[in-house]
Amino acid sequence: MTDRIAPTDTEANAAAPSAPGAQIPAPGTGARPAPVTATALLASYRAGTLSPVDATRDALARIEATEPAVNAFVRVDAEAALAQAEESARRWERGEPAGLLDGVPVTVKDILLQRGGPTFKGSRTVRAAGPWEEDAPSVARLREHGAVFLGKTTTPEFGWKGVTDSPLSGATRNPYDPALTSGGSSGGGAAAVALGAGPLGLGTDGGGSVRIPAAFCGVFALKPTYGRVPLYPASAFGTLAHIGPMTLDARDAALMMDVISGSDARDWSQLGPVAESFRTGLDEGVRGLRVAYSPTFGGQVAVDPAVAAAVRAGVERLAALGAWVSEDDPDFTDPVDAFHTLWFSGAARVVQPLGPEARALLDPGLREICGQGARYSALDYLAAVDTRMELGRRMGRFHERYDLLVTPTLPITAFEAGLEAPKGSGHRRWTGWTPFTYPFNLTQQPAASVPVGTDPRGLPVGLQIVGPRHADALVLRAAHALYAAGAAGVAPPAL
C-alpha cells in the first residue's frame, strides 16, 4: 500500500465538464435534442413545460436519425410508444402519474422478455411465433411505473461476448465513431442512451455487459448486487447474470433502481425487500470513505496511458472531495480460467436443445465456446465454483479495510466493430481485454462504470467503482459525487 493519494491544486480546481442533459430543447424547434436525463424530464412534466409525447417524439426522431449509422435496435414500435406517451400525458394532466417513471422513454435489451413481441436474443434460432405474453420482472416493474417502451436493443447471440454483433442483426457501432464497437453485450442499450434515444436503458451483465458498453459509449451503468433486481427466466449463465440500468448519470440510475428492484415471485434467488430508496443519501458525498485505488490489479493488467490518466484524475477528485484514497490491490490473481469454465458451460447449456441445422446458424465464436463448455466435467465446474468462493472470501476481507474499490472499467477505449478482440492485442476471447469487469460477476458485488474523460481520439473512458455485496446505494453515492463535482460525464457524440 502507498501513502494516501491527495490531489494537486491544479487537479482539485480543474474546470468541470458540463453535465449531460443540462438543458431541455423546446419542442417543435427542429433543433437536434441533446440527451436529457429522466430526472429532468419528470421535472418538466410536473411543471407542465414538456409532455411525454414531446419526449417520446424526440427519442424516436433520434432513433430515425442515428439508426442507419449505429444499428442499436432490433425492433422499434413507434406507434405503440406514442400511444403509451399519450396515455401518460393524460395522467399527468389529471395530476395522477402512474409511478416513478411515468412518461419516460426506455429501451429494453433483447435478452429480456417484453410482452407483445418476440425476444430473439440476437439469434436466428429463436422463432418469432408467439405468443409473447410475459414481461421479465424488471420490464414488468417499468410498465407498472408508466415507462414508455421505445423498442428492443441489440445484443450478441444470447449475450455471450463483450461486443455487440450477431448473426441476426449485424454489428452495433459506437456513437463516437461508427467504425468502432459499442462494446457489449448490452451495446445497443448503451448506444441508445448516449444518442438521446431514451434516457434509460435496461441491460444484463454476466461479465461486464452493462459496464463495458457504458465505458465505450460514455454513459453510466450499474451492475447491482446479484439478486437485487429479480430475473426470470433464469439465465443459463446462472448466478453470473445480473440486470442493471444504463443511464446518463448516477441519479437516474438510482431512480431506475427504485423501480426495477421490486420483488417478483418468479425469481427464487432474489434478495429481500429494499429498506429504503436508492436516492436516499445520494447527495451525502464521499468524505471519510476509505477507497482503494487499483490501477492495474497489482501489475497484472496493461492499461492504455490515456485511460490510466483519466481514471487517476477521477480518483484524485474523490480525494479532493474528502475520501481517504490509498493505492492498493485486491489479493487475487486473474480468475479467467474459472470464469471461462462457468461461462462456456452456461453457453453450452443455452444451445443444448438445438439440432444440427439450428447450430449451423450460430455465431461461429459461440459454437466454439459451446464445444469447449460441453467438454467440461462436473468436477471441473465444481473446481471453478471453489475458485469463485475463495475470490468472494478475499473480496469480503478486502472490504473490511475499504468501503470501495476503484479501477479502470476497461484498460482500453473502443476498437474496430465486428471483432471480438482488438487487432494485434494477442487476445482471442473478449475476456482478454475485460479483466476489470468479470471478477465482480464471480463475487456478485455491485459495480458501476462512470465516464471520466476521453482519450486523444475523443473516445470515452470509464472508471469502475466496486462496493461490497449489498452496498449498491454506496456505489451510486460515490458515482453521484463525481457527477456533482463535475468530474463525470462526457460531451455527447456529434452523430
Locate 156 and state its grid cell. 450478441
pLDDT surpasses 70 at 64: yes
CA distance 405 to 402: 7
Does residue 272 fall inside a structural domain?
A: yes
pLDDT surpasses 80 at 31: no
pLDDT band at 35 (very low <50, low <70, confident <90, very high): confident
pLDDT band at 16 (very low <50, low <70, confident <90, very high): very low
pLDDT band at 33 (very low <50, low <70, confident <90, very high): low
Does residue 3 fall inside a structural domain?
A: no
pLDDT band at 475 (very low <50, low <70, confident <90, very high): very high
CA distance 135 to 229: 14
Does residue 492 fall inside a structural domain?
A: no
Pick the closest to residue 301 from 178, 436, 165 (CA basis): 436
List, for residues 278-326, the tens digit of each pLDDT value: 999 999 999 999 999 999 999 999 999 999 999 999 999 999 999 999 9
Structural domain boundaries, residue 61: 9-484
Measured in whole angstroms, the distance separating CA 359 from the mean position of its chain's CA atoms is: 29
Does residue 1 fall inside a structural domain?
A: no
Does residue 4 fall inside a structural domain?
A: no
The whole-number pLDDT of residue 10 equals 35
Strand 105-109 relative to strand 148-153, pairing = parallel
Q: Which residues are catalytic?
A: 109, 185, 209
Does residue 494 fall inside a structural domain?
A: no
Q: Which residue has the cell 442512451?
A: 193
Total structural domains in the chain? 1
Pick the closest to residue 265 from 116, 96, 140 (CA basis): 140
pLDDT band at 205 (very low <50, low <70, confident <90, very high): very high
List, for residues 234-291, the tens digit of each pLDDT value: 999 999 999 999 999 999 999 999 999 999 999 999 999 998 999 999 999 999 999 9
List, for residues 382-424, the tens digit of each pLDDT value: 999 999 999 999 999 999 999 999 999 999 999 999 999 999 9
The whole-number pLDDT of residue 6 equals 56
pLDDT band at 133 (very low <50, low <70, confident <90, very high): very high
The whole-number pLDDT of residue 4 equals 60
CATH number of the domain that residue 347 is part of? 3.90.1300.10
Mean pLDDT of 214-228: 98
pTM: 0.94
CA distance 25 to 152: 26
Does residue 152 fall inside a structural domain?
A: yes
Mean pLDDT estimate for the chain? 94
Q: Which residue has the cell 440486470?
A: 243
Does residue 426 fall inside a structural domain?
A: yes
List C-alpha distances in Å: 137 to 100, 149, 157, 221, 419.
Answer: 16, 15, 21, 19, 32
pLDDT surpasses 60 at 29: no
CA distance 398 to 155: 34
CA distance 128 to 58: 29
pLDDT surpasses 90 at 125: yes
